[in-house]
Structure 1
Amino acid sequence: MKKTFFTFLFLSLVLSINSQTIFGKWNSKNEAGTVDSVLEVYEKNGKAYAKVVEILNPARKNALCVDCEGEYKDKPILGLDILSGLEKDDDEWSGGQIIDPRNGKTYKCYIKLVNANKLKLRGYIGVSLFGKTAYWERAK
């Protein structure tokens, strides 16, 4: 009986710890507060990245990042890496950048897990005081 209890306790702890990560699929909302895309945050070479894996508005499924600059100019938004190069710093990931495909602008950013199903994203220019915060909810 003790062995079963401790096995259950161990599995619960492991599942709880694994769900407490920034990695996975997240819903992004537009200015109206409606979920318009699903992003996948993933790790590559110890850094965090995110790409658009689903666009929910059928009219925008084949949209291009027309306002983006450089290598992102006129690339399909679906599959676009919008978040790049974030490194773990205590309980947040920072030091990278994010591209807003809605307007093509690039910002410095950091992300932080608020709880298992909510991610805080702060994009800014210069210092984080001058920026905007968005919250992504974990996709089901």
Structure 2
Amino acid sequence: MTPFTQRTRAMMMRTARQAALAGVLLASAVTAMAQADSPVGTWQTIDDHTGQPKALVQITQDSSGALDGKVIKGLGPNDQPERRCTACTDARKDQLILGMTIINDMKKVDDGWDDGQILDPENGKIYKCKMHLEDGGQKLVVRGYIGVSLLGRSQTWIRQQ
């Protein structure tokens, strides 16, 4: 191999490595941007009474663009995987809370998501729900309410990586 061919080959290898690195960086940037404007992902909920982590909820998007959220892990000190929603009055009555869908049919509206429902498995009540992202997509403010959103309460959930 001539010196010219060796230099050309080395330059092509460096260029290929740089292109691969640029692709990885671009993919990371796209993922970060997607996280900043979508609640799809895993969220840590916080107990209203103790202020301690309570559960992990996985939010997914269906083919119509609506969001749903499912409990994937309990985090409380007294959490038992066999806990059931004994207070639920719908089809979730006596079902395991772990694996239960507690957020249904959230639709993108302006800067947030609205028109869906959220279940509080502690009391079995179903509330209207709206949510929006804060802190560059790292916090999700979830508001459950009856009638109008002024009559409700909000929780701030923390994005998990």
Does the pair score TM above 0.5? yes
Q: Which has the higher strand share?
A: 1
Tell me by how many angstroms 1:59 deviates: 4.1
Match in the other structure for 2:160: 139
Structure 1 position 52 matched with structure 2 position 77: no
Of 74-83 and 29-38, more deviation after overlay is shown by: 29-38
Match in the other structure for 1:75: 95
Q: 2:155 and 2:115 mapped to 1: Cα distance? A: 17
Give the aligned residue type for 1:108. Answer: K
Q: 2:143 and 2:114 mapped to 1: Cα distance? A: 10
Q: 1:28 and 1:132 mapped to 2: Cα distance? A: 14
Structure 1 position 19 matched with structure 2 position 38: no
Q: 2:28 and 2:88 mapped to 1: Cα distance? A: 44
Structure 1 position 127 matched with structure 2 position 148: yes
TM-score by length of 2: 0.78
Moved over 3 A (4+): 7-13
Match of 2:52 among 29, 34, 37: 34
Aligned residues: 140
Q: Which has the higher helix share?
A: 2
Tell me by how many angstroms 1:56 deviates: 1.9
Unaligned runs of 5+ in 1: none
* Partner-residue secondary structure (3-state), 2:140: strand
* Partner-residue secondary structure (3-state), 2:91: helix
Tell me by how many angstroms 1:109 deviates: 0.5
Give the aligned residue type for 1:116. Answer: G
Residues 66, 116 of structure 1: CA spacing in aligned structure 2 closer, same or farther, 3 A cutoff? Answer: same
* Partner-residue secondary structure (3-state), 1:37: strand
Of 19-28 and 55-64, more deviation after overlay is shown by: 55-64
Q: Which has the larger radius of gyration?
A: 2
Structure 1 position 110 matched with structure 2 position 130: yes
Q: How big is the alpha-carbon RMSD for the aligned residues of Structure 1 and Structure 2? A: 2.3
Tell me by how many angstroms 1:88 deviates: 0.7
Q: What percent of counterpart residues are identical?
A: 35
Give per-residue Cα distances to partners, 1:33-78, cap 9 Å, x unaligned.
1001100000113100000000123542210000011101101000
* Partner-residue secondary structure (3-state), 2:94: coil
Tell me by how many angstroms 1:12 deviates: 5.6
Unaligned runs of 5+ in 2: 1-17
Residues 12, 70 of structure 1: CA spacing in aligned structure 2 closer, same or farther, 3 A cutoff? Answer: closer
Match in the other structure for 2:3: none
Q: 1:134 and 1:80 mapped to 2: Cα distance? A: 19
